[in-house]
A and B are shown apart, each in its own frame.
Chain A
Amino acid sequence: MPGPVIMRAQLRSRPANGHAAFLPQIRKLVFEYCDKWPTSHHTRTFLLTRLQALARENPHVEVVVKQRNQKEPIVRGFYVNNRDKVIPLKELEVTAIQKKVQLLLDASGAKIVPLKRRAVESTTEAARGIWSGLHAERPTL
Chain B
Amino acid sequence: MNHVQRRLVSTAAKLTSVSPSAAVAFPPPAALRRAKGAFATDDFDADGWAHVQPVPTSALVAFANRIGLAAIFDSPEAIRQACTHPSFLTLYRQQCPSKRLPKTNAQLATIGNSLMGLFATEYIHAKYPYLPTRVLKATISAHVGPGSLDSVAREMGAAPLLRWHRSHETENTPPVLHADAMASIPRSLTALIYQERSLPAAREFVHTYFLSRQVDVRAMLKFFNPKKSLLEMVQKYGRELPKSRLLRETGRFSNSPMFVVGIFSGVDQLGEGFGASLRMAEYRAAEDALMRVYLTQTPPEDLQLPSSTFPSVQGNIYAAGPEGAYVAPQIAPSDILYASSGRSRV
Residue from A12, A27, A133 within 8 A of B148 (CB atoms): A12
Give min CB distance, B132 to chain A, whole Å. 12
A20 interface residue per 8 A CB criterion:
yes
A23-B155, A28-B59 known; A123-B214 Cβ under 8 A: yes
A5 engages B208 (CB within 8 Å): no
List residues 288-346 of chain B with CB under 8 A from any CB of chain A.
339, 344-346
Name the CB-closest residue of A to B67.
A23
Report which residue of B152, B156, B157 has the largest number of chain A beta carbons within 10 angstroms of its beta carbon: B157
B156 engages A80 (CB within 8 Å): yes
**CA–CA, A105 to B14, complex, Å?**
19
A50 interface residue per 8 A CB criterion:
no
A5-B345, A27-B62 known; A80-B157 Cβ under 8 A: yes
Report which residue of A3, A24, A83, A134 has the largest number of chain B beta carbons within 10 angstroms of its beta carbon: A3
Residue from A19, A20, A83 within 8 A of B10 (CB atoms): A83
Residue from B151, B207, B208 within 8 A of A15 (CB atoms): B151
Give min CB distance, B302 to chain A, whole Å. 19
A2-B345, A6-B220 known; A80-B215 Cβ under 8 A: no
Residue from B13, B58, B142, B207 within 8 A of A13 (CB atoms): B142
Name the CB-closest residue of A to B59.
A62
Give min CB distance, B159 to chain A, whole Å. 7
B248 interface residue per 8 A CB criterion:
yes
A28-B59, A83-B13 known; A23-B156 Cβ under 8 A: yes
Indicate the size class of the contact surface on chain B: 35 or more
Give min CB distance, A20 to chain B, whole Å. 4
B276 interface residue per 8 A CB criterion:
no
Residue from A4, A8, A16, A80 within 8 A of B345 (CB atoms): A4
Residue from B66, B147, B213 within 8 A of A60 (CB atoms): B66
**CA–CA, A12 to B9, complex, Å?**
31
> Which residues of chain B are near A13, meaning CB under 8 Å?
142-143, 148, 151, 210, 213-215
Residue from A11, A12, A20, A79 within 8 A of B212 (CB atoms): A20
Residue from B13, B68, B152, B248 within 8 A of A79 (CB atoms): B13
Name the CB-closest residue of B to A133.
B250
B interface secondary structure, majority: helix
Name the CB-closest residue of B to A2.
B345
> Which residues of chain A are near B152, meaning CB under 8 Å?
15
A11 engages B346 (CB within 8 Å): no
B66 engages A24 (CB within 8 Å): yes
A15 engages B213 (CB within 8 Å): yes
A6 engages B222 (CB within 8 Å): yes
> Which residues of chain A are near B70, meaning CB under 8 Å?
59
A20-B209, A78-B13 known; A28-B215 Cβ under 8 A: no
Contacts A11-B138, A16-B214 given; 18 further ones with Cβ under 8 A?
Answer: A3-B345, A6-B138, A8-B145, A11-B142, A11-B145, A11-B148, A12-B151, A23-B67, A23-B155, A60-B65, A62-B61, A64-B58, A79-B13, A84-B13, A86-B9, A133-B250, A134-B248, A135-B260
12 contacting pairs across A/B (C-beta < 8 A):
A4-B346, A5-B346, A11-B147, A21-B68, A23-B66, A23-B155, A23-B156, A59-B70, A64-B58, A84-B12, A133-B250, A134-B248
Listed in ascending order, the chain B residues whose CB lies under 8 Å from chain A are: 9-10, 12-14, 19, 56, 58-59, 61-63, 65-68, 70, 138, 141-143, 145, 147-148, 151-152, 154-157, 159-160, 207-210, 212-215, 220, 222-224, 248, 250, 258, 260, 274, 339, 344-346
